[in-house]
Chain A
Amino acid sequence: MNSFVIGYYALLIGASCLAAYFKQRQIFLLIFSLTLVSFVTGIVGGVPALRFITIAAGLLALAAGVSYAFREFLIIITPEGVAKELRTAPLTAAFGMFVIFTYAIAGIFAPVIAPFGEAEVISSAFAPADENMLLGADQLGRDMFSRIIYGARNSVGLALTATGLAFILGAFAGLMAATKGGWFDQLMGRVADVIMSVPSLIFALLMLSIFGTSLVVIVIIVALIYSPRVFRLTRAVAGNVVVMDYIEAAKLRGEGNWYLIRKEILPNSTAPLVAEFGLEFCFVFLLIAGLSFLGLGIQPPTADWGSMVRENATLISFGELTPLIPAAAIALLTVAVNFVVDWMLFRSSGLKEV
Chain B
Amino acid sequence: MVPKKDVLLEIKELRIEGYSDEQWIEIVHGVDLTLHKGEVLGLIGESGAGKSTIGLAAMGFARDGCRISGGSIDFDGMELTTTPESDLRALRGSRIAYVAQSAAASFNPAHRIIDQHTEAPIQYRIQKRVEAQEDAMELYHRLRLPNPDEIGFRYPHQVSGGQLQRAMTAMAMACRPDLIIFDEPTTALDVTTQIEVLAAIRDIVDQFNTAAIYITHDLAVVAQMADTIKVLLKGNEVEEAPTEQMLDSPTEDYTKSLWAVRSFKRPQKQRPTGSDAVPIVSVKGVDAAYGKVKVLDDVSFDIFAGMTVAVVGESGSGKSTTARCITGLLPPTKGEIQFHGQALPPRYQDRSKDQLRQAQMIYQMADTALNPKIRISEIIGRPAQFYGGLHGAELKNRVDELLDLIELDPAKFYSRYPPELSGGQKQRVGIARALAAEPSFIICDEVTSALDQLVAEGILKLLDKLQQDLNLAYMFITHDLATVRSIADEVVVMQKGKVVEQGPKDEMFKPPHHPYTDLLLSSVPEMDPNWLTTLLEERGTDSIGEAASV
Contacts and interface: CB of A to CB of B under 8 A. Distances in A.
Interface string B86-108: 00000000000000000000000
Contacts of A263: 371, 374
A268 B363 contact: no
Interface in B356-374: 356, 361, 363, 365, 368-374
B383 interface: yes
A248 B363 CA distance: 10
A245 B372 CA distance: 12
Interface in A230-289: 244-246, 248-249, 251-255, 263-264, 267-268
B437 interface: yes
A245 B329 contact: no
Contact of A248 (B329, B372, B374, B386): B329
B329 A252 contact: yes
Nearest to A84: B22
A245 B369 contact: yes
A319 B261 CA distance: 85
Contacts of A87: 22
Given A245-B363, A245-B365, A354-B419, A252 B327 contact: yes
B361 A249 contact: yes
Interface string A322-354: 000000000000000000000000000000001
A251 B348 contact: yes
A253 B369 contact: no
Contacts of B387: 253
B349 to A, nearest CB: 9
A253 B356 contact: yes
A254 B356 CA distance: 7
B386 A249 contact: no
Contact of B372 (A249, A253, A268): A268
Contacts of A268: 371-373
A322 to B, nearest CB: 48
Contacts of B329: 248, 251-252
Contacts of A253: 356, 382-383, 386-387, 437
Contacts of A249: 361, 363, 369, 433
B386 A264 contact: no
A291 B363 CA distance: 54
Contacts of B386: 253-255
Interface in A118-138: none
A254 B361 contact: no
A253 B353 CA distance: 8
Contact of B373 (A84, A251, A255, A267): A267
B374 A267 contact: yes
Contacts of A354: 419
Nearest to B369: A245
Nearest to A354: B419
Interface string B119-138: 00000000000000000000
A255 B385 CA distance: 12
A50 to B, nearest CB: 39
Interface string B490-522: 000000000000000000000000000000000
Contact of B371 (A84, A246, A252, A254): A246
A85 to B, nearest CB: 12
A244 B327 contact: no
A264 B356 contact: no
A310 B433 CA distance: 62
A252 B374 contact: no
Nearest to B418: A246
A267 B373 CA distance: 6
Contacts of B371: 244, 246, 263-264, 267-268
A267 B356 CA distance: 25
A87 B433 CA distance: 36
B379 to A, nearest CB: 8
Interface string A291-319: 00000000000000000000000000000
A267 B437 CA distance: 24
A123 B271 CA distance: 100
Nearest to A243: B368
Nearest to B364: A245
A246 B370 contact: yes
A46 B329 CA distance: 77
Nearest to A248: B329
Contacts of A267: 371, 373-374
A233 to B, nearest CB: 18
Contact of B368 (A245, A251, A252): A245
Contacts of B361: 249, 252
Nearest to B382: A253
Nearest to A265: B371
Interface in B272-302: none
Nearest to A246: B371
Nearest to B363: A245
Interface in B338-354: 348, 351, 353
30 contacts: A87-B22, A244-B368, A245-B363, A245-B365, A245-B369, A246-B369, A246-B370, A248-B329, A249-B361, A249-B363, A249-B369, A249-B433, A252-B329, A252-B356, A252-B361, A253-B383, A253-B386, A254-B348, A254-B351, A254-B353, A254-B356, A255-B386, A263-B371, A263-B374, A264-B371, A264-B374, A267-B371, A268-B371, A268-B372, A268-B373
Closest 3 CB pairs of A and B: A267-B373, A245-B369, A246-B371
Interface of B: 22, 327-329, 348, 351, 353, 356, 361, 363, 365, 368-374, 382-383, 386-387, 419, 433, 437
Given A84-B22, A253-B356, A254-B353, 10 more contacts: A244-B369, A244-B371, A246-B368, A246-B369, A246-B370, A252-B348, A252-B361, A253-B382, A253-B437, A254-B348
